[in-house]
Structure formats: structure tokens, C-alpha cells
């Protein structure tokens, strides 16, 4: 088995072992052992960098369902390696951080089991080459993230946030699955690489565009794109290590990864370009606009994450146009957006991961995340303040931090897209840099809010739950490493660009050399002017924010998407409750009526309308008079049960039916079935009598006449359906009978009695289970016989 397949399975195995190991290690924090998993995985993927940076890829396949073309196929290229390094590297930092963040009172085995489960699922998503295997891991990320978000399940908001994230992402996952099946219907393969190679001949296929939009729907829901972004802020009820891992570096990047991976398949089309670009830009603006109004630091980071994800998404949309132009200067010009998307994907993971950890430290050491209660913390948390400033300034796109470099590329890509000679960009392309500039100004504002309203200004000790103090070293190491990366990438960006970003770009835009040499200074150009405008207008908006923030009150809360979601969910719950109450009446006759009515309608309707009904009596054996008499006796007993005045009479008449069937088995020369029927009927009759003895007195039927008529119609229809099915089966021979096989029982099984041979050899396992059922039924009868009702009731009352 290939080492990368083992790398995917390793976290799942570790997740299963965590609870077992936890019980055997005493007081040692299980997090230290869980930390070994991402560290080992990160080391494995680091060793793959030289191989992948040289332009090579890693492929491996493990057979799963080869007859259906479903195999556990993995594919490691530049794109999947970037995500794998983020998943394992950030995973290691988050596990280390969580060891000091979580309390020993928390259920640590569950936490690390869920976290490792999520880690394995994410690795499966980014390394899978098979569409259906990718989908399996995709939904596993939704399930494991649900468990992590609801980790503090005693909190109502945690449960609600987990439910919202699960409903929205799984809904998108189902849509994505439908798109995958459409792609397979078009191309005949589940391999992403094979689909990308053969897709040009299917662009005119009727399923091409439906598949495109369904795949995007799955990506947009997972990466919290507008209007599906509403789940991400509510998911912030999760512990901060979960937010730092899932909602900055990994889970929300799954949708981004999907768009990037499918760019060679759907890129180059107007639908892909405008849908991805506009949805990303709207998300970028809406997330930044809402981030400014937040008073909870974690909620602010949630909306800022939404905004940054929109930025990355819009860049992948703009960069997809390069496929339309192909190799050449124009392809390289517009392909720069894809390179910028990959660059910002890495940068965002570093500065947003650091900021989430900083906010977690504030919450852990101060006792609140409310901006209105914070201020002046620089004297108490000086080291944390440094990390917060580095992360915030990088997010704002200021010089000397990695976010500045990718933000400049974003401006360049938006200006290039404005003048693109395809997709009607000459007409509407001006919207791209306009929205980009506006959202960047708002990004600057909320970045300054994090820094100045948290660490500077007046200190409010009376508003805090406890006196602030610096975090322990273990909590400071992870944000310190990320902060160092933020600065290191700014001063040595091409180390990252040449070894990771360029190989990833080559896989997304094959044949297009769009990887630039990254530098911080490009002279005085439009991008620099836009950056200066962002700083100037952003500073003014921050200074006068209390005046213009009244604009948020213009839109009623009832118009928000959260309100729409809540109304829709509550409406569904009310309707579901009303519908369920309509048929779950607690009245057994109602349930029988539903079951038999559905059976008669479904089976009988299929029998009639499919023209399968076939009645052929030509080859039937003659029916003797005594069989007619026995059948009439059974019918009389069945009808008489309906008019019985006591349970004893009804039970005895029901016994007449059962024993009559046993007589039929005797007449048909099946003594084994006759004996079985006699035993079962005897046991059933005794059970009925024992149970009915404990029930209240018999109450006469008081149903209205219309109900009795309805039940009679349903009963007759159900019985008639069974009779017609039996006659049709008897009259139609679609396959050769298997009875001739059993006639050879002496040669095959060594038994002269064919019935014994069938029961003991051909169906020996089935016979053993039937005997076991009879034994269990006998034990039940024996227990009921020995049960002392009154004595047991008195004992129960005393207890």
C-alpha cells in the first residue's frame, strides 16, 4: 500500500485509538500523543516538496469497487501538496495550542478523536482523484466539523451553530454529488485527471452546465460564500482551536480547493468566470461590511474569514479566463490571478490562524471577547499584542507582511480583468476593481479595530471578569511560529512561490507560464495608488466610524439571511410536526391502514399499470372438494374474527386459521412445514392468551361507519393484491425453475429425503436460525408462564 494512502488512513486509526490509549496513560494529556500524528504527516509531506517542485506528481490506487470504476485513487501535485501541508502543519500548531487552551474537565479524548477524524477527512478530500471517494471524504469533513463545533454541547448556541453548518454544507454536498454523477454520465469516468483531459469534447453536452453549477453549489456552501456564509459566524461557538483550524486554514478551504481543482475542467467558460468571480466579490464585500459592525472579536474574525475567502474565490474566477487564451502573453497575464489566489490561500492561513489564536488567548486570559469591554491590554499581554498586530496588519495588506504581497497581486488581477477582451468584461469589468477597492478599505478598518480597540486605549478593569495576564508559553508558541512565517514570506516569497505555488499553478493552468517573480516593490503604479487609497480612506473611516456605522441600522434584522434561515427552519419544523402528528396518532389501526393502503396502491398499481398481471389456470392441478371445504372454513373463521365479542373467541378463531394452514401443508405432502406451523401456531396462541389476560376488558368497536367502510376497502384491496400477485407469479415463468436442482439431492448432499436434504444441507444455515428463533420464542413463553403479575407489580411499586 502506498505511503500516501497510509497517510490518509493514519489519522482515522489514531482517532479510533485515542479513547483506548487515554484510559491507560493516567494523567498524561492525550493531546501530546495526538500531536505526533500531524507532526509525522507534516514531515512526510515536507519530504515530497523537492519531488513535486520539479514538476512530478505522485499517483497511487487501491482497488475498492473496480467493477463500478470506484477506486481509492490518490493524486499529489502542487495544489494538493499545499493543502496537505496546511492541514498537517496547522493541525500540529492547533493541537499544541489546544493542550494549553482546553480544560482537563473537557472531554479531551472526544476532542482529539474528532480533530483527527477531521484531519484524515480533509487529507482525503485534497488527495483523492476519484470523484466519489472525494465525496465520501467531503461529507466526513461535514460530520466531523459538526462534532467539533458542537463540542461544548451543553451550550445552546454551540448546538445551533453545529446544526446550521451541517444543514448548509450537507445540502451543498448533495448538490455536488449530483454534479459528479452528471460528469460521470458525460465522460464515463470518475477520475478527475481523466475528466480534465477529455472534457473539451463535452462542453456542448446538455449536462455540462448543470454539472458546473451543482459543483459550484457544493463549493460555495463549504467555503461560506454569499449567501451561504451565514453558517460560519455561528460556527464560532466552537472552541478557539477548532475555529483556528477549521475556519481559517482547512474546512473552509475545501470549497476553494474544489473550485481550483475543477478550473481545468470548467474554466474558460463565461459561466464559470462570472459565477465564481461575482460570488467571490460579493462575498468579499459583504463579509468585510459586516465584520466592521461586530462587537465580538471572534465574530469579527468570522466575517473577516468570509471576506477573505471571497477574495480568494474571486481570484480563481478571474484566473480561469487564462484557459480561454491558452499559452502566450495574454494567458500569462490573466493567469496571474490564479497565482495570487494560491498565494493568498497560504497567507490567509498564516495570519488568520495567528489572529484566532490571539483572540483565544484574550478570551482565555481576560475572560471576554467583547470589544466594548476591552482596551489597554498592551500592558498585560505584550507578547500577544505583537502577534495580534502582525496578523492584523498582514490582513490589512500593509507592507512588511505577507498579506501585502498577495493583496497587491489581487489589485493587479482586478485591473487586468477590467480590460479583458472576452466575457463582456469591457462592459462590466469595472465592477471588479471597484468592489475590490471598497472591500479592501473595510478590511483595513476592521483590522485596525482588532489592534487599537483591544490592545490600546483605556483599560477597563471593572468590565473584565478577571485580571489579565500573559498566556503560558505553550499557547504563545503556535501564534509565534505563524507570525514569523508572516514576516518570513514577505522577505523571501519566492522560496514559497518557486517550490509550491508555481508547481500548483502549472497543474491548474497547464501550458501557461503565469508564475511571476514576487517582489514587494513594482514602482509607482495603479496598484500602489490603490493601496495608498485603502490606507487613507480606511484610516478616515476608522476615525469617524461612530458616525457612519449608523448605516447598519437602516436594514431591519428581519431582512437578514440569518433571519430568513431561522424562519425557514422554524417553518419546516412546524410543518413537519403537523404532518407527523397527522399520521402518528398512536392508534394501531391507523398504522395498519397506512401500511396496507400503500401496499395495495404501490404493488397493485404496479401490477395493473405495468401490464404484468397474468392469470393462467390451464396448467393448474384440480382442486378436490375437501380442499374447497377447508378453504371456506378458513374464510368463515377470518370473517368471524371481525365480529367476535371477546378476545378469547378471536384468539381461538385465529387458531383455526393457523391450524387449517397446517392441514393444507399435510395435504401438500410437506410434513416439516406442517410441524413447524403447528408449533408456531401453538406458541402464538398461548402468547396471545397470556398477554390478553393482562389487558383490560374487551371494548366493543365504536368506529364510525365511514371508518369501517374505509378499513374494509383497504383490507379487501390488500388481500386482493396479494392474491393477484400470487396468481401472476404462478402463471408466469420468467426463469427456469430451481426445483430440478434439488431433485438431485442424493448426489449433491447424500440425502435420500429431499426435504431433509434441503433443510439440513442446502439451507442448513437458514434452518439453524429458524431453530434459534423457535428457541427464543419458547424462552419467551416460558418466561411469561412463570411471570407473577401481581407480585411483580407490587415489587415495582415498592421500588
Give the model confidence (pLDDT) of 318-372 as tens digits.
Answer: 999 999 888 888 888 889 999 999 999 999 999 999 999 999 999 999 989 999 9
Which pLDDT score is estimated for 41?
A: 96
Nearest-10 Cα torsion for 683, 685, 689, 695? 100
Neighbouring residues of 297: CB distance < 8 A, sequence distance ≥ 6: 359, 362, 363, 369, 370, 371, 374, 450, 454
Predicted confidence (pLDDT) at residue 1 exceeds the cutoff of 70:
no
Give the pLDDT band of residue 792 (cuts 50, 70, 90).
very low
- Judgement on whether residues 440 and 348 belong to the same structural domain of the protein: yes
Answer yes or no: do 321 and 450 share one domain. yes
Nearest to 277 by CA among 425, 427, 437, 440: 425
Q: Per residue in 66-80, pLDDT tens?
A: 878 788 999 999 999
Q: Which of 111-120, 223-232, 322-331, 729-738 has the lowest mean pLDDT?
A: 729-738
pLDDT at 200: 87
Predicted pLDDT at 669: 82
Local confidence band at 795 (pLDDT 50, 70, 90 cut-offs): very low
Per the domain annotation, does 576 fall within a domain?
no
Sorted by sequence, the CB contacts under 8 Å of residue 352 that are 6+ apart come out as 248, 249, 301, 304, 305, 308, 391, 395
Mean pLDDT of the chain: 89
Does some domain include residue 481?
yes
Provide the pLDDT for residue 797: 41
Residues 418 and 533 in one domain: yes
Determine, yes or no, domain membership for 795: yes
Per-residue pLDDT averaged across 695-714, rounded?
80
Evaluate if residue 754 carries a pLDDT over 80: no
d(CA 336, CA 341): 9
pLDDT of residue 356: 95
Confidence of residue 116 (pLDDT cuts 50, 70, 90): very high
Q: Do 631 and 776 lie in a common domain?
A: no
What's the confidence (pLDDT) of residue 429? 80
Percent of the chain residues topping a pLDDT of 90: 56
Residue 63, H or E segment: strand 58-65
Least confident of 228-232, 404-408, 617-621, 661-665: 617-621
**Residue 114 domain flag:** no
Specify whether 535 is located in the same domain as 623.
no
The answer on 626 and 500 residing in a single domain is no
pLDDT at 798 over 50: no
Whether 471 and 599 map to the same domain: the answer is no
Can you give the pLDDT at residue 166?
94
- Considering only 138-152, 220-234, 322-336, which range has the smallest mean pLDDT? 322-336
Higher pLDDT, 539 or 613: 539
8 A C-beta contact, residue 727 and residue 715: no
Q: pLDDT band for 625, please (50, 70, 90 cuts).
A: confident
**Whether residues 718 and 639 fall in one domain:** yes
Q: What is the DSSP string of 602-628?
A: IIIHHHHHTT------TTPPP--HHHH
The reply to whether 728 and 769 lie within a common domain is no
> How far does CA 363 lie from the centroid of its chain?
29
DSSP assignment string, 509-556? STT---PPPP-S---S-HHHHHHHHHHHHHHHHHHTHHHHGGGGGGS-
Q: Which residue has the higher pLDDT, 477 or 521?
A: 477
Instruction: Classify the C-alpha dihedral 756-761-767-768 as positive or negative.
Output: positive
180: pLDDT strictly greater than 70: yes
Give the separation between CA 318 and CA 313, rounded to whole angstroms: 9
Residue 655 has pLDDT above 80, yes or no: yes
Residues contacting residue 152 through CB under 8 Å, at least 6 positions apart: 158, 237, 238, 239
More confident residue, 420 or 477: 477
- 75: β partners: 59
The tally of domains found in the chain comes to 3
Whether 627 and 717 share a structural domain: yes
Sequence-distant (≥ 6) Cβ neighbours of residue 596 within 8 angstroms:
714, 715, 717, 718
Is residue 761 packed enough to be buried (19+ CB in 10 Å), middle (13-18) or exposed (0-12)?
Answer: middle
Q: In whole angstroms, what separates CA 694 from the centre of its chain?
A: 49
Provide the pLDDT for residue 789: 55
Whether residue 476 is found in the same domain as residue 625? no
pLDDT at 799: 42
Distance from C-alpha of 523 to C-alpha of 532, rounded to nearest angstrom = 13
- Domain boundary residue among 752, 770, 790? 752
738, 772: one domain: no
Range of the domain at 742: 588-752
For the chain, give the number of residues: 799
**Within a domain: residue 443?**
yes
Determine contact, residues 95/101, Cβ cutoff 8 Å. Answer: no
Return the half-sphere exposure (C-beta side, CA atoms, 13 A cut-off) of residue 689.
Answer: 15
- Lowest-confidence pick of 137-146, 591-600, 680-689, 740-749: 740-749
Grouping H, G, I as helix, E, B as strand and the rest as coil, residue 73 is strand
Neighbours of 448 (CB within 10 A): 20
pLDDT value of residue 788: 62
**454 domain-assigned:** yes
Does some domain include residue 84?
no
Dist. CA 568–CA 230, nearest whole Å: 14
DSSP letter at 643? T
Amino acid at each position: 500500500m502506498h505511503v500516501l494512502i497510509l497517510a490518509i488512513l493514519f489519522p482515522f486509526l489514531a482517532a479510533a485509538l485515542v479513547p483506548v490509549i487515554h484510559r491507560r496513560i493516567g494523567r498524561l494529556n492525550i493531546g501530546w500523543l495526538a500531536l505526533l500524528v500531524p507532526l509525522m504527516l507534516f514531515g512526510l509531506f515536507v519530504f515530497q516538496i523537492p519531488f513535486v517542485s520539479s514538476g512530478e506528481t505522485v499517483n497511487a490506487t487501491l482497488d475498492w469497487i473496480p467493477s463500478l470504476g470506484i477506486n481509492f485513487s490518490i493524486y499529489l501535485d502542487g495544489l494538493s501538496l499545499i493543502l496537505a501541508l496546511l492541514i498537517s502543519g496547522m493541525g500540529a500548531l492547533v493541537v499544541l495550542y489546544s493542550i494549553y487552551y482546553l480544560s482537563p474537565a473537557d472531554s479531551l479524548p472526544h476532542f482529539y478523536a474528532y480533530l483527527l477524524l477531521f484531519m484524515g477527512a480533509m487529507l482525503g478530500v485534497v488527495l483523492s482523484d476519484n470523484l466519489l471517494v472525494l465525496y465520501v471524504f467531503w461529507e466526513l469533513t461535514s460530520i466531523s466539523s459538526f462534532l467539533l463545533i458542537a463540542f461544548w454541547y451543553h451550550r445552546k448556541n454551540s448546538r445551533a451553530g453545529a446544526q446550521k453548518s451541517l444543514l448548509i454544507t450537507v445540502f451543498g454536498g448533495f448538490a455536488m454529488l449530483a454534479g459528479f454523477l452528471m460528469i460521470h454520465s458525460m465522460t464515463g469516468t470518475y477520475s478527475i485527471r481523466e475528466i480534465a483531459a477529455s472534457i473539451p469534447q463535452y462542453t456542448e453536452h446538455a449536462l455540462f452546465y448543470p454539472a458546473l453549477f451543482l459543483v459550484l453549489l457544493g463549493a460555495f456552501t463549504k467555503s461560506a460564500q454569499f449567501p451561504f456564509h451565514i453558517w460560519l459566524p455561528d460556527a464560532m461557538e466552537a472552541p478557539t482551536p477548532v475555529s483556528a483550524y477549521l475556519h481559517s486554514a482547512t474546512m473552509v478551504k475545501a470549497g476553494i480547493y474544489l473550485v481550483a481543482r475543477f478550473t481545468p475542467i470548467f474554466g474558460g467558460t463565461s459561466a464559470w468566470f462570472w459565477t465564481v468571480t461575482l460570488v467571490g466579490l460579493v462575498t468579499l464585500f459583504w463579509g468585510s461590511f459586516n465584520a466592521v459592525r461586530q462587537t465580538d472579536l471572534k465574530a469579527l474574525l468570522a466575517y473577516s474569514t468570509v471576506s477573505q475567502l471571497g477574495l480568494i474565490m474571486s481570484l480563481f474566477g478571474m484566473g480561469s479566463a487564462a484557459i480561454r487564451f491558452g499559452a502566450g502573453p495574454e494567458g500569462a497575464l490573466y493567469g496571474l490571478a490564479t497565482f495570487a489566489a494560491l498565494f493568498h490561500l497560504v497567507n490567509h492561513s498564516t495570519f488568520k490562524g495567528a489572529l484566532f489564536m490571539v483572540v483565544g488567548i484574550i478570551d482565555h486570559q481576560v475572560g471576554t471577547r467583547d470589544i466594548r469591554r476591552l482596551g489597554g491590554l498592551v500592558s498585560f499581554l505584550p507578547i500577544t499584542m505583537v502577534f495580534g498586530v502582525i496578523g492584523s496588519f498582514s490582513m490589512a495588506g500593509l507592507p512588511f507582511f505577507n498579506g501585502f504581497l498577495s493583496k497587491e497581486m489581487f489589485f493587479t488581477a482586478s485591473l487586468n480583468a477590467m480590460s479583458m477582451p472576452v466575457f463582456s468584461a469591457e462592459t462590466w469589468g469595472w465592477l471588479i476593481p471597484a468592489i475590490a477597492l471598497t472591500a479592501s478599505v473595510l478590511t483595513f478598518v476592521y483590522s485596525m479595530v482588532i489592534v487599537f480597540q483591544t490592545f490600546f486605549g483605556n483599560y477597563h478593569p471593572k468590565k473584565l471578569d478577571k485580571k489579565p495576564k500573559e498566556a503560558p508559553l505553550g499557547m504563545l508558541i503556535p501564534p509565534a511560529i505563524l507570525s514569523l512565517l508572516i514576516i518570513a514570506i514577505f522577505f523571501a516569497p519566492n522560496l514559497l512561490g518557486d517550490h509550491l505555488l508555481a508547481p500548483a499553478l502549472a497543474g491548474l493552468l497547464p501550458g501557461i507560464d503565469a508564475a511571476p517573480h514576487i517582489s514587494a516593490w513594482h514602482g509607482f503604479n495603479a496598484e500602489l495608488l490603490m493601496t495608498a487609497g485603502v490606507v487613507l480612506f480606511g484610516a478616515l473611516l476608522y476615525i469617524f466610524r461612530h458616525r457612519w456605522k449608523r448605516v447598519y441600522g437602516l436594514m431591519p434584522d428581519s431582512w437578514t439571511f440569518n433571519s430568513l434561515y431561522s424562519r425557514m427552519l422554524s417553518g419546516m419544523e412546524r410543518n413537519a410536526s403537523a404532518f407527523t402528528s397527522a399520521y402518528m396518532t398512536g392508534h394501531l389501526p391507523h398504522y395498519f391502514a397506512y401500511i396496507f393502503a400503500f401496499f395495495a396502491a404501490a404493488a397493485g398499481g404496479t401490477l395493473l399499470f405495468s401490464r404484468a398481471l397474468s392469470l393462467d389456470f390451464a396448467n393448474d392441478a384440480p382442486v378436490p372438494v375437501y380442499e374447497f371445504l377447508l378453504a371456506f372454513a378458513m374464510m368463515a373463521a377470518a370473517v368471524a374474527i371481525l365480529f367476535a365479542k371477546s378476545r378469547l373467541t378471536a384468539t381461538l378463531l385465529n387458531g383455526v386459521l393457523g391450524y387449517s394452514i397446517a392441514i393444507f401443508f399435510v395435504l401438500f405432502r410437506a410434513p416439516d412445514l406442517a410441524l413447524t406451523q403447528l408449533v408456531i401456531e401453538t406458541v402464538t396462541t398461548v402468547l396471545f392468551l397470556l398477554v390478553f389476560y393482562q389487558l383490560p376488558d374487551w371494548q366493543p368497536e365504536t368506529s364510525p361507519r365511514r371508518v369501517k367502510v374505509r378499513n374494509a376497502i383497504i383490507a379487501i384491496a390488500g388481500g386482493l393484491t396479494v392474491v393477484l400477485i400470487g396468481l401472476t407469479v404462478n402463471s408466469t415463468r420468467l426463469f427456469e425453475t430451481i426445483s430440478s436442482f434439488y431433485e438431485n439431492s442424493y448426489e449433491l448432499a447424500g440425502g435420500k429425503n429431499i426435504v431433509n436434504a434441503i433443510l439440513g444441507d442446502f439451507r442448513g444455515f437458514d434452518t439453524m436460525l429458524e431453530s434459534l428463533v423457535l428457541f427464543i420464542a419458547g424462552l419467551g413463553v416460558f418466561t411469561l408462564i412463570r411471570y407473577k403479575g401481581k407480585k411483580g407489580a407490587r415489587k415495582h411499586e415498592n421500588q
